[in-house]
Amino acid sequence: MLRINNFKIRKDLSDSEILDLAIEKNNLNKDDITNIFISKKSIDARKKDDVHYSYSIDFEVKNENSSKYKKFAKVKKLEYPQFNINRKSTLRPVIVGAGPAGLFAGLTLVQNGFKPIIIEQGKNVEERKKDIEEFQKTGKLDTLSNVQFGEGGAGTFSDGKLTSGINSPYCRKVLEEFVNFGAPKQILYLTKPHIGTDNLINIIKNMREYIISKGGEFLFNEKVTDFEFIDNQISAVYCSKKIETDSVILAIGHSSRDTFEKLYAKGIKMEAKDFSVGVRIEHLQSEINKAQYGTLTKLKLPPAEYKLAYHSPSKHSCYTFCMCPGGQVMASSSEEGTIVTNGMSNFARDGVNANSALLVGVTTANFDSTSPLNGMYFQKDLEEKAFRLGGSNYNAPVQRVEDFISNKKSTFIGSIKPSYKPGVTLSNLNEILPDFVAQTLKEGLIYFDTKLKGFANPDSILTGVETRTSSPVRILRNENLVSNIDGLYPCGEGAGYAGGIMSAAVDGIKCAIEVLKH
């Protein structure tokens, strides 16, 4: 495979036009080419008077050793690690949770001839969508079917971001599988791919139907209430019935607090881990576009994104996370009497506002870590305070940035309207945020405004609170991905080994492979 790097384009062209132009500009002979495709596309907006696209084009030719191809970089074809299937058990593997980790674990098992049982306490994604819409309209919360719980996991009602900091060959497999089940093909080459919540709902349904067609089984509205161990080996899980098994993939998600408590009581080894808390910040998407792209470009660019970080002299860090262009702030509670926020965008990202989590890192030094579950209780305490501050009716507390920095309650909404539903309450978020969080957020806001003009716009809206960015618990596992109980595989974001759709899906694949190998 050969690659054309940094192929700059300064006009809007279709993919086929891009490939034709790459062949022409690089003096390639079409008859020599056996395969050609876009492998990477990004936007270079560093110079506002020269915003352009940058492409990488990969191609194969009949004789790549010919002298005329020496100027092109050689690229190895991606190969997935090989493994031997040694599983002989007649018991069916069980997967607890149908988020990205659980779904990709199930997909991997059925693709290799095994028929897992996937247990999900929430509903299928179609019914789950209705419950979330009902909560947004009426404030009526279903604690088992919401933004956190149900088929597809928390990432379904976010933005469908597929970026990740991990380096695994299985990242490509995840992208390819999403395309197989209906995702836009552009996710294979965009530097910041996303699917959008509207697309994800159908894609997840297609994945489920495929897994069922291959013999997999889904049990929705079934909550795992207990685990049985015999001689340090998993032997069964309990929901409304007992299911005997010798292999359980625990893909429970970062919000399954009662399951964490059950596992801890059963002697599963775990530890507290660092996480982050903060707020959602909203700006006008048009202002973010202007700050990132300038006003000179004639290109039809997608809604602009940002990613910012600040390190305080107090040694705390502030950063943006899960930025949703043209999206909305989502009501994401999963327990009664709590307020939790998240961000969501549809594929078009055509909403008026941009939003992002604005977070401060919390380490085990910031809470009593004598129990591995105390970080979880730290989160919950903050969520309960936000519920009360918002009026104890699932309205979220909101505040203008100017008022937050000045530590005074907001009394009006300015040019930026909050998108959170079912409703908002003007508040002073300083009253509930830990002092180190509030202070670091203020420093971060002021610093980010020097990097992205208008970030600290006085009318920008802060909505509290964002607490579920990652699991506060890590369930320990060995090099074979097994916990201290044989056959029990802690997996994905809830177990502390992932952070987002991509890394959770990859971890699901890896855990399924370990089940097949042993």
What count of other Cβ atoms lies within 10 Å of the Cβ of residue 149? 26
Q: How many CA atoms lie within 13 A of 485 on its CB side?
A: 25
Q: Looking at the domain assignment, is residue 82 inside a domain?
A: no
Q: Strand 2-9's sheet: what is its strand order?
A: 33-44, 52-61, 2-9, 73-74
Please give the residue that has the higher pLDDT: either 391 or 70. Answer: 391
| Dist. CA 511–CA 361, nearest whole Å | 28
pLDDT at 206: 98
Please give the span between the terminal C-alpha atoms of the chain, in angstroms, as a whole number: 35
Interval 159-172: pLDDT, tens: 899 988 898 999 99
The domain boundary, picked from 466, 484, 509, lies at: 466
CA distance 208 to 6: 39
Residues 254, 318 within the same domain: no
**303 and 440 share one domain:** yes
Q: Which residues pair with 2 in a beta bridge?
A: 59, 74
Is the pLDDT confidence value at 210 over 90? Answer: yes
Element containing residue 374 per DSSP (H, E) = helix 374-389
Summary mean pLDDT of the chain: 96
Rounded to an integer, the average pLDDT of 496-502 is 95
In terms of domains, do 290 and 397 share one?
A: yes
Please say if the pLDDT value at position 65 is more than 90: no
Strand partners, 431: none
Q: Is it the case that residue 78 has pLDDT exceeding 90? A: no
Domain CATH code at residue 484: 3.50.50.60
What secondary structure letter does DSSP report for 47?
S
> From the DSSP assignment, how many helices (H) and strands (E) are in the chain?
11, 23
Q: Are 440 and 295 found together in one domain?
A: yes
Q: What pLDDT, in 10s, does the model give residues 1-17?
A: 999 999 999 999 999 99
- The answer to the question of residue 167 being in a domain is yes
**Contact residues for 17 (Cβ-Cβ < 8 A; gap 6+):** none
Number of Cβ within a 10 Å radius of residue 298: 9
187 pLDDT above the threshold of 90 = yes
In angstroms, what CA-CA distances link 404 with 132, 287, 322? Answer: 29, 21, 22
The answer to whether 354 and 282 are in contact (CB under 8 A) is yes
Strand partners of residue 354 = 283
Of 10-24, 65-79, 84-98, 260-274, the one with minimum mean pLDDT is 65-79
Q: Is residue 384 a part of any domain in this protein?
A: yes
Q: φ and ψ at 256, to 5 degrees? A: -85, 70
9 phi, psi to nearest 5 deg: -130, 130
**Contact present, 487 and 477 (Cβ < 8 Å):** no
Domain boundary among 27, 46, 74: 74
Contact 123, 151 (CB under 8 A): yes
Q: Please, are residues 390 and 424 in contact by the beta-carbon 8 Å criterion?
A: yes
Rg of the chain over Cα atoms, rounded to whole angstroms, equals 24
Provide mean pLDDT across the span 23-42: 95
301 in any annotated domain: yes
pLDDT-based confidence at residue 444 (cuts at 50, 70, 90): very high
- Specify whether 258 is located in the same domain as 312: no
Which pLDDT value is given to residue 77? 84
Q: Are residues 187 and 265 in the same domain?
A: yes
The answer to whether residue 135 sits within a structural domain is yes
Q: What's at 207, amino acid-wise?
A: M
> 457 and 337 in one domain?
yes
Give domain status of residue 184, yes or no.
Answer: yes
Identify whether residues 243 and 143 lie together within a single domain: yes
Q: Structural domain tally of the chain? A: 3
Q: Give bridge partners of residue 311 from the DSSP assignment.
A: 317
Q: Which two tokens stand for residue 428?
A: 């002073």
Cα of 87 vs its chain's centroid, Å: 31
| Residue 67: predicted pLDDT | 85
Residue with tokens 């009602």: 157
**Per-residue confidence band for 493, with pLDDT thresholds at 50, 70 and 90:** very high
End-of-domain residue from the set 20, 42, 74: 74
**What residues make up the domain containing 40?**
2-74
174 and 119 in one domain? yes
177 and 255 fall within a common domain: yes
Helix (H, G, I), strand (E, B) or coil at 428: coil
Distances from the Cα of 12 to the Cαs of 51, 194, 396, in angstroms? 12, 20, 41
From 13, 106, 66, select the one nearest 505 (Cα to Cα). Answer: 106
Q: What is the CATH number of the domain that holds 63?
A: 3.30.70.2700
How does pLDDT run across 361-397, given as a tens digit for each residue? 999 999 988 999 999 999 999 999 999 999 999 999 9
Give the global pTM. Answer: 0.96
- Measured CA to CA, the distance from residue 517 to residue 50 in angstroms comes to 52
Q: In this structure, is residue 85 part of a structural domain?
A: no
Specify if 446 maps to a domain.
Answer: yes
Residues 483-512, mean pLDDT to the nearest whole number: 97
- In terms of domains, do 143 and 53 share one? no
Strand segments (E) across 196-312: 217-220, 226-230, 233-238, 242-244, 248-250, 270-272, 275-284, 309-311
Helix (H/G/I), strand (E/B), else coil: 226: strand
Q: Are residues 228 and 311 in the same domain?
A: no
Task: Compute how many other C-beta atoms are within 10 angstroms of the C-beta atom of residue 489.
Answer: 31
Give the number of C-alpha atoms closer than 13 A to the C-alpha of residue 45, restricted to the C-beta side: 21
